[in-house]
Amino acid sequence: SIEFGDCAEGWYPAKQTVCADVARLSKVMPTNDEGFDVIVCTQVLEHLPDPPAALREMWRALAPGGQLILTVPFMEQYHQARGQFRDYWRWTHVGARQMVEAAGFRVDRLETAGSSLTATAAMLGFGTDDLHAGEMLEGSVGDYSATSDEDWGVHASQYQGVHVLASRPDADLEQATNKV
């Protein structure tokens, strides 16, 4: 893999890796028509004016059966850099699931990240480095992989973000599985 700091936009065939702005993904795709096996998009969608369009482009760029690793913020401070990027959106775990599924993905796993302590600290301007690891990790993951609200029960929670592992369904594989 390529270190983030070394990742200039382009296709790196020797490493089978592409680094690209999602809006220009089709311009740097490899020449094969099969698409990518994995797309990693972490803490990016909140900076795009049209996240659903970006997810549809990622779905198109993935090979059938390919996976999307996605993280989006929920309780984070507003952040932008003039002339570089803006900060538009935040997602609950319910909103993240709906947006990913609406783009055509199947959600394989969905978790919340952080705790009431880390979410509150983030809103007050503290980074996770300012907290002790034990306090930060306590209650840090909520698994919301179940497909409906009824499966979760009634609760309220405070967390920093949402982690999603999703895949582009492989129509041929799903048809074969449904026949068995």
pLDDT in tens, the chain (180 residues): 333 344 555 555 555 566 666 666 666 665 555 678 888 998 889 989 999 999 998 998 888 999 999 999 888 778 777 777 788 999 999 999 999 999 999 999 998 887 777 777 777 777 655 555 444 444 555 666 665 555 545 445 667 788 899 999 987 555 545 555
pLDDT of residue 130: 54
Instruction: Return the closest-CA partner of residue 50 out of 83, 99, 16, 11.
Output: 99
Angle between helices 93-102 and 51-61 (to 10 degrees): 50
pLDDT of residue 103: 96
**73 backbone dihedrals φ, ψ, rounded to 5°:** -85, 155
**128 backbone dihedrals φ, ψ, rounded to 5°:** -65, -25
* Spatial contact of 7 and 18, defined as CB atoms under 8 Å apart: no
pLDDT of residue 113: 82
pLDDT of residue 3: 36
pTM of structure: 0.72
pLDDT of residue 91: 93
- What are 112's two structure tokens? 């919340």
Instruction: Return the closest-CA partner of residue 32 out of 45, 44, 16, 49.
Output: 16
pLDDT of residue 77: 78
